[in-house]
Structure 1
Amino acid sequence: MSKTKERTHSVAANGVPPQQQGAGPVAPPRVSARRRRPGVIALSLALIAAGGAGVAVLLLQVGHRTQVVTVVRDVQVGQVLTEQDLGKASISLDPAVKAVQANELDSVVGKRAAVELKPGSLLTRSQVTKDSLVKAGEQLVPIGLKPEQVPATALVPGQKVELVHVPAQGATDTGKTSDTPPQTIAGRVVKASSAAPGTGVVVVDVATSANDGPTVASWVSSSTLRLVLDAQDGN
């Protein structure tokens, strides 16, 4: 047998290459055991549980929908509401929004709009009234106000006003003064239009007593009327 065959036979016999036969045993790698911290583990579990609970609450809130009454047609101030003016929608409603529930739709049909209603809006109790905006014994007088006569404070239905008669220029004697206060008539805003394009004139419907209606109309015709707002609380 040749020397090459002898060396091959020697490797096959003991299963170890010749260059490693003289080496000692190889020690296994040391695995360091991590020290477990029960406090950290408990905190991690608590955070996971809290996060899961928060997600669950959020999903419940998003998934909770309420049937409410909506406006589907333009409704003017004082107009009686009909079923055709209203609709229903299912939405996620904030508790702070006091919308009329869908099962209460019949309770608002037949009432009057206290404000102008626009399609797509939610209907609230404060937007309707069972009372007529023009009461018995009153008359409705339209008053046109030029841009410089329109108050900066928004005119809203129910706002109390004073209609003041201002004599036209040249109607009084020059150089004479009068201690008599100007004539005034109490009124209540029923509706105020938007400013007309180009002119900026705002038309305000004012309810007055039936006895004062003709007088106010004459002041409007002669352009001797001014509108003054009363304090909202009546003081």
Structure 2
Amino acid sequence: MSKTKERTAAPGGVPLQGPVAGPVAPPRVSARRRRPGMIALSLALVVAGGAGVAVLLLQVGHRTQVVTVVRDVQVGQVLTEQDLGKASVALDPVVKAVRADDLDSVVGKRAAVGLKPGSMLAPSQVTKAFLVKAGEQLVPIGLKAEQVPATALVPGQKVQLVHVPAQGATDTGKAPENAPQTIAGRVVKASKSAPGTGVVVVDVATAADDGPTAAAWVSASTLRLVLDAPDGS
């Protein structure tokens, strides 16, 4: 037996409604109190970030025309326009490079060091002076692999040419009474070791009076090359 819910009706057949809820008030959201100091800090960070990006863009966009080397140039060789080129680079202020506008000022000068293609030309890499000065002579010295110093030989390095007894000379086992004879010199150029033999040829500038003596020592294989300490050491 089913049960039916009775509905009460108002006169006229209109059903009576139950209690009607009133309007629901929205939840109260407490307003967060903003601190002026935090707002100012946020604005400062935004401004600083924008300024940093602007500076970076300016640095990336700012390029400098510089002189470059386009082919091998040996030490002491006179520079020509065919040896040099120009390039646009983003140049750090601490890097010293010859500006493209000054290209004519370096043409005709000599390379103070060996120059390689693709490198920027620095003012210190060129010189007006002859590598062999007046009153000097150039003595080529061949050094075997075991005679080459581990320290790289570079132009301008001061050296001593030392005369040693010839191989096979009488050896008494005693220290020599007199100090070995030496000649002061300066490295002008050092070649790479020759394939197979490992011999390195070093061009050394000496006083004109000492050139023939040094050449005789080289011929007799009684010469050794010793590096001097750098100036100020």
**Which category describes the TM-score, using the shorter chain as reference length?**
0.7 to 0.9
Distance in 1 (CA, whole Å) between partners of 2:227 and 2:27 is 91
Q: For 1:68, what is the secondary structure of its paired residue?
A: strand
Aligned amino acid, residue 197 of structure 1 = P
1:23 aligns with 2:5: no
Q: CA deviation at 1:152?
A: 2.0
Which of 139, 143, 163 is residue 137 of structure 2 equivalent to? 139
Distance in 1 (CA, whole Å) between partners of 2:188 and 2:203 is 5
Residue 104 of structure 2 is matched in structure 1 by: 106
Q: State which drifts further: 141-150 or 89-98.
A: 141-150
Q: For 1:24, what is the secondary structure of its paired residue?
A: coil
- Rate the CA distance shift 1:208–1:10 in 2: closer, same or farther, 3 A: farther
Which of 206, 210, 217 is residue 208 of structure 2 equivalent to? 210
* Structure with higher helix content: 1
Q: CA deviation at 1:143?
A: 0.9
Distance in 2 (CA, whole Å) between partners of 1:65 and 1:159 is 36
Structure 1, unmatched stretches of 5+, are 1-8, 12-17
Q: For 1:215, what is the secondary structure of its paired residue?
A: helix
Q: For 1:144, what is the secondary structure of its paired residue?
A: strand
Matches within 5 A, 1:27-66: 27-32=24-29, 33-66=31-64
Residue 83 of structure 1 is matched in structure 2 by: 81
Which of 122, 125, 139 is residue 124 of structure 1 equivalent to? 122
Q: For 1:87, what is the secondary structure of its paired residue?
A: strand
Distance in 2 (CA, whole Å) between partners of 1:42 and 1:175 is 87
1:41-93 Cα shifts (integer Å, max 9, x gaps): 22111111111111111111111111111111100000001111111111111
Distance in 2 (CA, whole Å) between partners of 1:224 and 1:234 is 30
Residue 227 of structure 2 is matched in structure 1 by: 229
TM-score if structure 1 supplies the norm length? 0.85
Distance in 2 (CA, whole Å) between partners of 1:161 and 1:10 is 124
Distance in 1 (CA, whole Å) between partners of 2:100 and 2:175 is 63
Q: CA deviation at 1:174?
A: 3.6
Q: For 1:88, what is the secondary structure of its paired residue?
A: strand
- Rate the CA distance shift 1:230–1:39 in 2: closer, same or farther, 3 A: same
Q: How many residue pairs were aligned?
A: 222
Distance in 1 (CA, whole Å) between partners of 2:90 and 2:103 is 18
Q: CA deviation at 1:115?
A: 0.2
Which of 148, 151, 156 is residue 150 of structure 1 equivalent to? 148
- Rate the CA distance shift 1:65–1:177 in 2: closer, same or farther, 3 A: closer
Residue 14 of structure 1 is matched in structure 2 by: none
Q: CA deviation at 1:39?
A: 2.0
- Rate the CA distance shift 1:120–1:173 in 2: closer, same or farther, 3 A: closer
Residue 197 of structure 1 is matched in structure 2 by: 195
Distance in 2 (CA, whole Å) between partners of 1:190 and 1:211 is 18
TM-score if structure 2 supplies the norm length? 0.86
Q: CA deviation at 1:173?
A: 6.1
RMSD (Å), alpha carbons: 2.4
- Rate the CA distance shift 1:25–1:176 in 2: closer, same or farther, 3 A: closer
Residue 167 of structure 1 is matched in structure 2 by: 165
Structure 2, unmatched stretches of 5+, are 1-12
Distance in 1 (CA, whole Å) between partners of 2:163 and 2:14 is 131
Q: CA deviation at 1:185?
A: 1.4
